[in-house]
A = this chain, B = another copy of it.
Amino acid sequence: MKAVFFDVFGTLVDWRSGVARESRRILEPRGISLDWHAFAQAWRDQYQPALEQVRSGRQAFVKLGQLHRRNVGPVLARFGVSDLPEEVLSELVRAWHRLDGWPDAAPGLQMLAKSFLIAPVSNGEIALMVDLARLNGFPWDAILGAEIAQDYKPKPRVYLAACEAFNLPPEECLMADAHSSDLAAAARCGLRTAHIARPNEAGPGRGESKPTVPVDIVAQSVEDLARQLAR
């Protein structure tokens, strides 16, 4: 094993609290009040249908930020909010660049970086990954993932492009993720897999506390993964 790849949204950073907090910070001064966590969830729920447009080939690859921008208006409308100026909508999209890592994420990555190459293999674009890394101290060797593959997980190309970028065969790469379905896709590409428990990803008790598919490593946190790999 030479490299460890990471999913980011949900696995390393808490998108639900972060998007709720940032949306409130941006919209409340404009007199808008809504269920901020429900808004974060509703926006996130548009994620997979938007990615599927690209994965299916119905539209050319665009960065996740552009998909977030396209989705935010319709989601706000469902919460009774409309007619926001363009700069406010852009600022809302920037909420995804300001998400806090789970407490174990940065320390665990620092430990892993001593023995392995590490990179995000996220559906988020390079600029977004760079901002999250700066904010949270994620010591990546490179930013891999959807943008360099020009497609979205769980399409095989995304996992394979990451291995190829490091000049490594898939069996020397480990994909760490809090989402079993994505780990299944990585395993089908020949990568090793580690499940990271995030039982509260989408709210209390609404996340995977354990994998629902066979994986190579079951970890309770990124630090736990680092400890298991150090044995």
Contact = CB atoms under 8 A, between A and B. Distances in A.
Interface in A127-143: 127, 129-130, 133-134, 140-143
Q: How large is the interface on A (under 10, 10 to 19, 20 to 34, 35 or more residues)?
A: 10 to 19
A117 interface: yes
Contact of A142 (B117, B130, B167): B130
Interface of A: 65, 117, 125-127, 129-130, 133-134, 140-144, 147-148, 165-167
Copies of this chain in its oligomeric complex:
2
A213 to B, nearest CB: 29
B147 A165 contact: yes
Given A127-B167, A148-B148, 7 more contacts: A125-B165, A126-B144, A127-B166, A133-B141, A134-B141, A141-B143, A147-B165
A53 to B, nearest CB: 21
Q: Give the top 10 A-B pairs by smallest Cβ distance, nearest first.
A: A127-B167, A142-B143, A126-B165, A130-B141, A127-B166, A126-B142, A130-B142, A148-B148, A117-B130, A127-B165
